[in-house]
Amino acid sequence: MGSSRKRLLRLLVPATTVATTVVVSTVLTPVLSANAATSDHGAGRARSVIFINGDGMSAAHREAARLSLAGLDGQLTMDKLPVSGQLSTSPHDPKTAITDSAAAATAWATGTKTYNGAISVDVKGKPLPILGRQAKAAGKSTGLVTTSQVTDASPAAWFSQTADRAAQDEIARQYLAVSKPDVILGGGEDWWLPAGTPGAWPDKPAEDPSEASKGTKGNLIDRAKRSGYQYVSSAKELAHAKRGKLLGLFSNEEMFQQRPEGQGDVYSPAVDLATMTQKALDTLSTNKKGFFLFVEEEGVDEFAHENNGARVLQAMKSLEKAVKVARSYVAAHPDTLLVVTGDHDCGGLTVEDPIDSDESGSDLSTEDGPFPVHGSNLKFVMDWTTTEHTGADVPVTAQGPLSTLFTGKHPNTYVHEVLSRVLTSRH
């Protein structure tokens, strides 16, 4: 093997097992051929990236959704992507081996593991280079879409740096002043306005009177408008928004109510994830240099924390529709890398046959269901073991140039290794 090829291997392959090295090296030839024809299986040069996060989603959530939406012999769109692998999720936190969304997203966005609660800073609180800013510096357009607050941990890690994920108004300020994503769509208007200054979404709404404007950085919506963003707050306004810099906030906080089952739990976003994703793609795709789009369905995690199977399935259906939008885009634009994964497991879910009693116990492990298996007379139950995150690996599926690099098992920091090859390139 030539010295230049050895250097490329050192750049591409994390210091994990020999087996992983073998898997990666077998796909290096098509990946590194700059003039190769782009295909679903990884050849060719990538210009853009669509990265989709089912927050809290591991293999069991995908299987429950498959049974519910596609049936025994069916497949989810996210599972039809031709390349698959696994990611481990542990953080570098002195208090726990189990990650939160902030540390997990920081691993993706920076390639560095850190403590829970950190947004793209290292274990000493030092800011780290982030792919959202690097993509912008390379001339690409950038955007984020989520059913959570747009300033929540997962999107924040790509576009901001702070020692505490709770500083969501500071994260919003950094979006406007520093990283400047072209498209920002999701929830969380409360963080963009000072206390006592309600916006399009009124303070203390009936569905949750605790929600109210709470920012400390001034009126950031007005600042966004002065910076050239169109601001929209409804599905109708989003549909009529012109191409260009776009800020859309469609709720006070998350775009749903994540309460225990039967206690006001609601999954009914004012704008669905697929619609936001399509609008973002329509806007970002006008850049000939390419783009980076982060898409997130937050409801999987939030409802798994409540052990709420019915709402998790609703959120998974929403995520699946967004993946279909993204895959349709990739079919027409094969120079786009599409990646679908989760940041961690939430709930310790298992998918089981219905039985007369819950053999696992009660309370935290109470079963949800039975739910019908699509297209059959069979049913399944969703059995929970915790209301917290777990250390289970998460599946990753991918399509497009460089996608074959996700074959095998990797740490979550490996996402950064692959995506940075696309997002930091100025070609």
**What pLDDT shows up at residue 35?**
29
Provide the domain count of the chain: 1
Q: Judge whether 396 and 88 are in contact, CB under 8 Å.
A: no
161-174 tens-digit pLDDT: 999 999 999 999 99
**What pLDDT shows up at residue 387?**
94
**What single string gives the DSSP state of each residue in 188-199?**
-GGGGSBTT---
Position 323 pLDDT exceeds 50: yes
37-76 tens-digit pLDDT: 334 455 678 999 999 999 999 999 999 999 999 999 999 9
Position 12 pLDDT exceeds 90: no
**What pLDDT shows up at residue 34?**
32
Confidence band for 359, pLDDT divided at 50, 70 and 90: low
Residue (of 183, 100, 117, 111) closest to 146 by Cα position: 183
| CATH of residue 108 | 3.40.720.10
210 is in an annotated binding site: no
- Token digits of residue 53: 């996060």
46 inside domain:
yes
DSSP 136: H
Angle made by CA atoms 415, 417, 419, in degrees to the nearest 5: 65
- Token digits of residue 393: 């690996």
288 inside domain:
yes
389 is in an annotated binding site: yes
**What pLDDT shows up at residue 356?**
73
264-286 tens-digit pLDDT: 999 999 999 999 999 999 999 99
Alpha-carbon gap, residue 345 to 19, rounded angstroms: 25
To which residue do tokens 């939430």 refer?
A: 346
Buried b (16+ CB within 10 A) or exposed e, 270-298: bbbbbbbbbbbbebbbeeeebbbbbbbbb
How much is the average pLDDT of 127-142?
98
How much is the average pLDDT of 369-386?
96
Instruction: Give the dihedral of Cα atoms 387, 356, 70, 309; nearest 10 deg.
Output: -20
150 inside domain:
yes
Q: Judge whether 146 and 296 are in contact, CB under 8 Å.
A: yes
368 is in an annotated binding site: no
368 inside domain:
yes
State the residue range of the domain holding 308. Answer: 40-423
344 is in an annotated binding site: yes
26 inside domain:
no
229-240 tens-digit pLDDT: 999 999 999 999
Residue (of 121, 96, 95) closest to 106 by Cα position: 121
Residues marked active site are found at 101
Alpha-carbon gap, residue 48 to 56, rounded angstroms: 25
β pairing state of 291-297 and 345-346: unpaired
**What pLDDT shows up at residue 362?**
56
**What pLDDT shows up at residue 27?**
32
Q: H helices of 211-335, where?
A: 220-226, 235-240, 273-284, 299-305, 309-332
To which residue do tokens 């390379």 refer?
A: 138
16 inside domain:
no
Confidence band for 339, pLDDT divided at 50, 70 and 90: very high
β pairing state of 83-88 and 394-399: antiparallel
5 inside domain:
no
Identify the helix (H) or strand (E) that includes residue 423: helix 414-423
417 is in an annotated binding site: no
356 is in an annotated binding site: no
Alpha-carbon gap, residue 84 to 399, rounded angstroms: 9
144 inside domain:
yes
100 is in an annotated binding site: no
